[in-house]
Every structure is written in structure tokens, then in C-alpha cells.
Structure 1
Amino acid sequence: MRSAAVFLALLLCLQWTWAQGESGEVTGTDTETEGGNRQEEVQFEIQGVGAAHDQSSSQTNITPDIWAELKELRDMAIEQKVELRNSKSKIEKLEQENAATQARLTASESKNAVLEARMSSYEDVVKTLQTENKVLGATVTASNNKVEELRRDNTVLESRVNTSENLVAELRRENMVLETRMSSSENEVAELKRENADHPKVAFSAGLTDAGHVGPFNTEITLKFSKVFTNIGQAYSPTTGIFTAPVRGVYYFRYTVWGVSTSTWFGAHLYHNEKSMAFNEDYNAESSHVSVSNALVLQLEKGDVVYMTLHPGRTIKDDLHNRTIFSGFLLFAL
């Protein structure tokens, strides 16, 4: 019986030692030290058991509670083994968590390096933007100054435009007045044109010839005043020497005849159609310059003719000085 108890005690001690080694908490020198201590304790316990066996040999009474104590020791060993296993699991879990945390820290450090690089790049960009902002600020300031200058110029231009608009309005009013006057003048001109159309401008003046003496002739001839000075309205014909009235009206006629031949008669007739309206002549007794002239106002119908003739046996003269002339013009139409 005692031998079994001693064996059981040794077995428990060995189991306790094995549990301590399996927990992994002690390694190397600590394990060896703890093993040595455990061996000494086992020897001590064996010696104690041996001493107790020897003593029990001499004694007759055995402690009845040894098995209860051994059971308590076994239960304690089992509990410590369970606690060691739980501690090992917790340690493994903590190691895993530590590894994961280390990996996260590594990833965080990588991300932090990337973020630091980005931050450095952002700082460079910010510096560039700040420089550009300063430049833009200077540009904006210059633009604002230019805008203010343009506003002032615009104010001056608006004032000038307003003045110009007022001047234009004044000119428009004056133009309207001028247009009214122009319209009135145009109406007057149109009226004058109508009046002139009804009352044409007619005037003529012509000299007889540059050849000297004309005549005498045996018959009465029409004098052709070929040197035309004026012939407004073209009513006088230098080819025929006849004036034809273009309109019905009152006309003024004048003529001058010059004679220089000694002891001769000179003179001329003025005819309206076939009627002699005036006859002037004179006798030149001496070799001198003698002339006769006359003038009259005649009312003519459109198409009437006025001309001058040289009487038979009469002589007249003209030269470069235009001493014998025939003139006429329209006073007013009827």
C-alpha cells in the first residue's frame, strides 16, 4: 500500500514537470534549472516518502487522508495544465494579433510614405499656385486699373456722345428747316421752270457783215445779219436774216444803219410779217460818217416774223467795228 502511494507521488511529480515543459514558458537555461530543482524536489519527496515508509514501518497507524491529499494534488495539477493551455492559446492569439498589428503598421508606414510624398508634391503645387496667385493678383490689379481708366474714358465718351447727340438733334432740326426751305425752293424752281416753259428766254443781236458796202440793188432785198453775237432761244436765223417768234408775247426790236458814200441815200425797212413797221434813211452829202437808228416794241403771235430790208438804189456799210446791227428780245409772254 505504501509503495503504491510513493509511486503515485512520483508519477504526479513527473506529470507536473512534463506540463511545465509543454507550456513553453521556460526554455534553455531556465528549463534546465527548473528541471534540476524538480529532480531535487522529487528526490526530497522520495527520501521523505522513504523516511515516512521507514517510520511507518515502526508505527502501526497510517494517516487515512493521504489519498485525499493526492487527489487534491492531481486536481490542482489538472487545473494548472488547463490554465497553461489557455495561457498558451492566449499567447498564440496575442502573437497572431501582434503579427497582424505589425503588418498593419508596415502598411501604414508605406501609406504614410506615399502620403508624405503626396504632401510634398502638394506643397510644391501650393507654392506654385501661390506664385501664380501673386502674378494673377498683380494682373487683376492692373486690369482693375485699366477698367477704371476705361470707365473714365467711357464717361468722357458718353459726355461727348450726349453732346454729339444734342448737336445731331439740333442739326436734324436745322436740316428739317432746310428741307422745308429746299422743298419750297424746289417748288419755286418747278414753278419757274413751268413759267419758263411757258415763257421761254428769247434774245438775239447780230452785225451785218465785215465786207464793207452792201448795195445798191435794183430790187428790195432782205438783209442777212450774218455776224451773230447773241441768239438765245435760236429764234433768229443768220442764213435768212429772219426772226421767228417762238411764243405769243411782246418783243423789243432795235436797229442801226451806217452809210459813208458821198452824195448817196442809205437806209432800211423793218417788217412785221409783210408789213413795214419802220423806215429810216438819210442822204450823205459829204464824205462823212452818217448813221440812222430806230427801236420799237411789237406784239407778236407765235410764228410771226420780223426782218429788215434794203430799199432799191440804197447803199449801207458795215465793217469790223459792227456799225450796222439788228437786235431784239422777248419782254414778256402773253
Structure 2
Amino acid sequence: MMSLALDETVTSLETRLRASEKTVAEQSAFIKELKEKQAEQTAALKELKKEREERKVSFSASLLESGAGNTGPDDEEGNLIYQNVITNIGNAYNPDTGVFTAPVKGVYHFTVFAMGQGHESTGTGVCLYRNGARVVTAWSRQPDERVSASNGTSLLLEENDEVCVKLWPNSWVYDNENHLTTFSGHLLFPM
């Protein structure tokens, strides 16, 4: 009788042990699956952070790094090269060419400020261009003293679209160590 009860107890314990071992194996497989999903999510998050960093675009530059003087007047429009880079997050502005190249498709906001010497026949004027087409102009003229002009616009740009500022024909701009003539742009949001 005792042997029968002992056999039943052993059988019951063996059954419970096998069930526990099966549960442990299932839980181990589930934990492994969770770890794999966590690794995938960590990689996806890292990629999203990288994309977000790539989409941070903002620059501001003034015409002259040092010294003072007029640029222009010239008979034809010519690119203004803003040499004094104040900020260039995303490195989309090229201070060697004066051209901003959109790194991603999105809506960007640009501003131009131009300072000039007042003169009866020479105005102060600049034009903002997108891919070779004039978008906005800032222009002013007065007979003496300093004169300023400014303008801005928001543009939907495709990746690799180019934006630059050109001097208005037969006008001039002035800059000095106070950085009076500037060109700035910022990505408002990607599309």
C-alpha cells in the first residue's frame, strides 16, 4: 500500500516537473523573442534619431568676414558669396559659392538683409533665387546716409534644390564688422 502511494506521488511529481520544465522552456523562448524585438526597436530608434539629426538645417551668414566695403555695382546680377558663416547646422550652405542646397524635401524659410550707402543714382538691392529663378527682391534707394532693404519667403524645396542671393544689377550692398548684410535659411519641417 505504501509502495503504491509512493509510486503515485513520484509519478505526480514527475508529471509536475515535466510541466514545469515545459513552462520554463516556453518562457525562455518568449524571453528570447522579446530580446530580439527589443534589439530591433533599439536599431529602429537609432535610425530615427539619425534621420532627425540629418533633418536639422539652419544657416546664417554675413557678406564679409572682416573689413568693410561695398560689393557692386555691376551691370549684371551676380551671386553674392556670404563669407562669414555665423551658423551652418547641417552644412547645407556653401560659403565658397554662396549657394544653399536643400538636403531634404521640405518647407524652408529664407531671409535677406541688405545694407547700402545712400546715393542718388545707385540703389541697394538683392534677389533671392531658387534653381535659377528669381523669387523675391529686397531693394531700396535714397540720396544719402545708409539705406537698408529686406525680404523673406518660405519655399517648398525638393532635395538638391538650390537657393542663392544675387546682387541687383547696377546696385550695391555694404558690409563691415557689424555684419549688416546677411542671408539666412532654416528648415521649418520636412515633407
With normalisation by structure 2, the TM-score equals: 0.72
**Residue equivalent to 1:259:** 116
1:229 aligns with 2:115: no
Q: 1:186 Cα deviation (Å)?
A: 5.5
Q: Tell me how far 1:257 sits from its aligned partner.
A: 0.4
Amino acid at match of 2:89: I
Aligned-pair CA distance for 1:187: 7.5
Q: Give the aligned partner of residue 174 of structure 1.
A: none
Q: 1:193 maps to which residue?
A: 49
Aligned length: 150
Q: Percent identity, please.
A: 40
Report if aligned partners of 1:208, 1:224 keep a CA contact under 8 Å in 2: yes
The alignment yields a C-alpha RMSD, in angstroms, of 2.2
SS in 1 for 2:151: strand
Structure of greater Rg? 1
Q: Which residue of 1 aligns with 2:130?
A: 272
Q: Could you say what secondary structure the match of 2:123 adopts?
A: strand
- Post-superposition offset of 1:191: 6.0
Greater percentage in helix: 1
- Trace 1:144-155 onto structure 2 (pairs within 5 A): none
Deviation at 1:275, TM superposition (A): 1.0
For CA contacts below 8 A with separation 6 or more, give which structure has more relative contact order. Answer: 2
CA distance in 2, matches of 1:278, 1:270: 5
1:332 Cα offset (Å): 1.3
Match of 1:208 among 60, 63, 85: 63
Equivalent position SS for 2:141:
strand
Question: In the alignment, residue 314 of structure 1 is paired with which amino acid?
Answer: S
CA contact (8 A) 2:104 2:190 kept: yes
Cα deviation 1:163-184 (Å, max 9, x = unaligned): xxxxxxxxxxxxxxxxxxxx9x
Displacement, 1:325? 0.3
C-alpha displacement at 1:284, in angstroms?
Answer: 1.6
Which amino acid counterpart does residue 290 of structure 1 have in structure 2?
V
Deviation at 1:260, TM superposition (A): 1.6
Q: Unaligned regions of 5+ residues in structure 1, if any?
A: 1-182
Conserved 8 A contact 1:259-1:284:
no
Give the AA of the match of 2:111: R
Residue equivalent to 2:153: 296
Q: CA deviation at 1:189?
A: 4.8
Shift of 1:195: 4.0
Which structure shows the bigger proportion of residues in strand conformation? 2
Deviation, structure 1 residue 192:
3.8
